[in-house]
Amino acid sequence: MNAAAWTCLLLPLGSTVLITLLGGSISRRAAGWISTVSCAGAFAAAVVAFVVMLGRSPDDRSELSTAYTWLAAGNFKVGFSILTDPLSMFMMLVVTGVGSLIVAYSLGYMDGDDEERRYFAYMSLFVFSMLLLVQGGNLLFLLIGWGLVGLSSYLLIGFHHERPSAVAAAKKAFIMNAFGDATMALAFFLLIQKTGSLDFDVVFSRADGLSQTVLVLVALGLLGGAVAKSAQLPLQTWLPDAMEGPTPVSALIHAATMVTAGVYLIVRTNPLFELAPHVQELAAGLGTATLLMAGLIALVQTDIKRVIAYSTMSQIGYMFLGAGIGAYANAMFLLMVHAFFKALLFLGAGIVIHALGGEQDIRRMGGLRKLMPKTWLAMLIGGLALAGIPPLSGFFAKDSILAAALAGDTYDRVLFAVGIVGAFLTGLYTFRMLFVVFGGEQSAYVREHPPHAGHDRLVNWSMGLTVAVLAVLATFGGWIQFAGVWTPITDWLEPVAKPLIEATNSQEAVASIISVAVGALGIGVAWWIYSAHRMKAPRPWAVLEHKFYFDELYNGLFYWPAVALARILDWTVEGPIVNGSIVGVAGLTRRTGDWFRALQTGLVRVYAFALAAGLAVLVLVFIAVR
């Protein structure tokens, strides 16, 4: 099992190194193949490990494997180790599975790009980082993976580095994530001080003895990392901008895997969160607020990818809600199926964008259904899954979370209510996008730029086949678990994350009915507005268009103050004090020198006088002092 896990982890890294070292000596497509094969290999390895794990008893499924001591400073030691347990296994499968599909899709999507090699190197690096995140055998390696996915995300968002907006978006994403890294690191420092270790088992076992303050601070630090990575309130603003990256990147990183790492983190460190229940409630609250806010903003977005991005944000809000109320397995379940259908949506959108020569504005699209029927089908599946319409996958996962919320206390029920509103919004914005893009008459733009089918078989196959696979997964993936009937995921994750809360079957039913109903209502409203009447969208509220002014707020709160502070320091400290002191001392010295120089008049009488005066003083002092 360990060997397979290590193989899974290191294969993508190997591919990165290989592509980098080979550089220009291989063809661009070869780089793509290397990457794809390595990811597929990683998936295979993960499957092998999974099979091995299945063969063991549930108590014996956790195994820690340490390669070597990575950092040993003072009494603090951390090994380069991976933890293979049901949770990480679950994530490995999702990551490598979806990952290899998307990499394969990229073979087609990125075909012809100048810097394809760089792209695939980055993609492999990302897969490695993500695996490190989920496989990391201690908190530090979790953080390392955490940081490395942020790095790969930065690299890939900024892939089109000649576009200033892409560069800016990449920087923004990285810096906000760095903020999250920092809060996590602070939590870790606290843990090191209090427990002396960052190993999961040591930390968890010693956590009981920590004071509530410490626990709250630690949990807050972890939550900071989680919200930053998962683009939850209040650190959500980077995700829409991140759509500057190539679409497969959005699919892989900003939908399927990386952004859900926050959920993974909460689930992984649930013993800590459970000891700080208020923070966990906070996580649920933040998730809920995010899902509502993102749903609202998504309504007015005009960029196809941004719509999906906000929906991602919103869906992760559900996951946070689930993880926050302790329905870990449900959150993980949504995480998985979300990976399927959101990847599907992105890749479908990618096909549209690709076909339209890079156009992303839905207002310029329209009537594509006839031109791209297969894509329409795929997108429809994705959209229905997203809206939680049975029997597609989203239904099973999302509703189980809502049901769990319904099972909780008053606070949780408020969250449930908001979640229902969110479900309505989900249906609305998803189908707004679908109807605008695919429905109705062909827009002027589409007529001018008719979507062209590629002539390259590989391109078509790689994009078509992967989308097809994802469509299948999005359709049937949810059947793995049907709350109240069969719960393999909950059982699987039981040893790692035992749910705090479980809905009764009646609650499940109530939640399902309500959410499906409002979801359908949302779809209906969308149909009524955007398909049946092709209404011009009402002028949206400025507050939505400006995404609740979070960008402006953060610019005003952090960026500009930092810049201003730097300027002020430059003007008030660096210039006048640090440098000025030198100039001042130098000037003073020089003036003193000039003054002494002026004493040297060249007149011999003055010289003699100096001697005489010096003598008079010296004699006086000698006589006086003796």
Residues 185-204 contacting other proteins, CB under 8 A: 185-186, 188-190, 192-193
Residues 402-421 close enough to bind other proteins by CB under 8 A: none
430 with 311: CB under 8 angstroms? yes
Residue count, binding to other proteins (CB under 8 A): 97
- Tell me if 225 contacts other proteins by CB under 8 A: no
Identified binder of other proteins from the candidate list 458, 517, 537, 620, rule CB under 8 A: 620
Q: At 176, list the tokens.
A: 């906000």
Complex with other proteins: residue 193 or 506, whichever CB lies closer? 193
Rounded distance, CA 511 to CA 505, Å?
10
SS3 assignment, position 84: strand
Residues 329-348 close enough to bind other proteins by CB under 8 A: none
139 with 198: CB under 8 angstroms? yes
Residues 123-142 close enough to bind other proteins by CB under 8 A: 132, 140
Complex with other proteins: residue 23 or 55, whichever CB lies closer? 23
Helix, strand, coil % (nearest 5) of the chain? 80, 5, 20
Identified binder of other proteins from the candidate list 444, 574, 576, 587, rule CB under 8 A: 574
Identified binder of other proteins from the candidate list 100, 183, 270, 312, rule CB under 8 A: 183
Q: Cβ 338 to other proteins, closest distance in Å? A: 25
Identified binder of other proteins from the candidate list 2, 60, 161, 552, rule CB under 8 A: 161
Rounded distance, CA 492 to CA 61, Å?
10
303 with 360: CB under 8 angstroms? yes
- Tell me if 388 contacts other proteins by CB under 8 A: no
Give the C-alpha distances (Å, rounded to integers) separating 211 from 197, 217, 218, 223, 324.
17, 10, 11, 18, 21
Rounded distance, CA 538 to CA 488, Å?
45
Complex with other proteins: residue 543 or 612, whichever CB lies closer? 612
Identified binder of other proteins from the candidate list 107, 148, 263, 307, rule CB under 8 A: 148
Complex with other proteins: residue 165 or 205, whichever CB lies closer? 165
Determine how β-strand 76-84 pairs with β-strand 63-73.
antiparallel
Length of the chain: 626
- Tell me if 472 contacts other proteins by CB under 8 A: no
Identified binder of other proteins from the candidate list 444, 458, 513, 610, rule CB under 8 A: 610
- Which amino acid, 611? L
Q: At 321, list the tokens.
A: 């809600």
- Which amino acid, 543? V
How many Cβ atoms from other residues are within 10 Å of residue 620's Cβ? Answer: 10
Give the C-alpha distances (Å, rounded to integers) separating 112 from 25, 29, 298, 355, 458.
17, 9, 32, 14, 12
Which range binds other proteins by CB under 8 A, 201-209, 244-252, 439-447, 569-577?
569-577
Rounded distance, CA 607 to CA 185, Å?
71
Rounded distance, CA 517 to CA 512, Å?
8
Residues 32-91 close enough to bind other proteins by CB under 8 A: 68-76
Give the C-alpha distances (Å, rounded to integers) separating 188 from 143, 225, 404, 478.
9, 11, 31, 36
Give the C-alpha distances (Å, rounded to integers) separating 546 from 168, 270, 310, 553.
18, 35, 13, 11
Q: Cβ 586 to other proteins, closest distance in Å? A: 8
- Tell me if 27 contacts other proteins by CB under 8 A: no
Complex with other proteins: residue 458 or 611, whichever CB lies closer? 611
Count of helix runs (H) and strand runs (E) in the chain: 28, 2
Rounded distance, CA 132 to CA 211, Å?
31
- Tell me if 528 contacts other proteins by CB under 8 A: no
Q: Cβ 207 to other proteins, closest distance in Å? A: 18
Complex with other proteins: residue 485 or 603, whichever CB lies closer? 603
Rounded distance, CA 358 to CA 370, Å?
20
Site string (5-24) toward other proteins, x via CB under 8 A? ---------------x--xx
- Tell me if 532 contacts other proteins by CB under 8 A: no
- Please list, in sequence order, all residues whose beta carbon lies within 8 angstroms of the beta carbon of residue 77, skipping any fewer than 6 positions away: 69, 71
Which range binds other proteins by CB under 8 A, 92-100, 424-432, 504-512, 557-565?
557-565
- Tell me if 560 contacts other proteins by CB under 8 A: no
Q: Cβ 147 to other proteins, closest distance in Å? A: 3
CB contact burial 559-574 (16+ within 10 A = b; e otherwise) = eeeeeeeeeeeeeeee
- Tell me if 448 contacts other proteins by CB under 8 A: no
Q: Cβ 622 to other proteins, closest distance in Å? A: 4
Identified binder of other proteins from the candidate list 505, 552, 569, 572, rule CB under 8 A: 569
Identified binder of other proteins from the candidate list 86, 99, 137, 158, rule CB under 8 A: 158
Residues 304-323 close enough to bind other proteins by CB under 8 A: none
Q: Cβ 569 to other proteins, closest distance in Å? A: 6
Residue identified by tokens 């001697």 is 611
- Tell me if 557 contacts other proteins by CB under 8 A: no
Q: Cβ 174 to other proteins, closest distance in Å? A: 6
Complex with other proteins: residue 543 or 563, whichever CB lies closer? 563
Q: Cβ 24 to other proteins, closest distance in Å? A: 8
Distance, CA of 557 to chain centre? 22
Identified binder of other proteins from the candidate list 472, 537, 543, 566, rule CB under 8 A: 566
CA angle 270, 10, 99 (to 5 degrees): 70
- Tell me if 445 contacts other proteins by CB under 8 A: no
Rounded distance, CA 452 to CA 454, Å?
6
Identified binder of other proteins from the candidate list 472, 535, 557, 578, rule CB under 8 A: 578
Rounded distance, CA 103 to CA 95, Å?
11
Q: Cβ 619 to other proteins, closest distance in Å? A: 5
- Tell me if 587 contacts other proteins by CB under 8 A: no
Residues 87-116 close enough to bind other proteins by CB under 8 A: 115
Identified binder of other proteins from the candidate list 182, 414, 468, 480, rule CB under 8 A: 182
- Tell me if 212 contacts other proteins by CB under 8 A: no
Which range binds other proteins by CB under 8 A, 55-63, 320-328, 433-441, 586-594?
586-594
Rounded to a whole number of angstroms, the distance between the first and last alpha carbons of the chain is 95
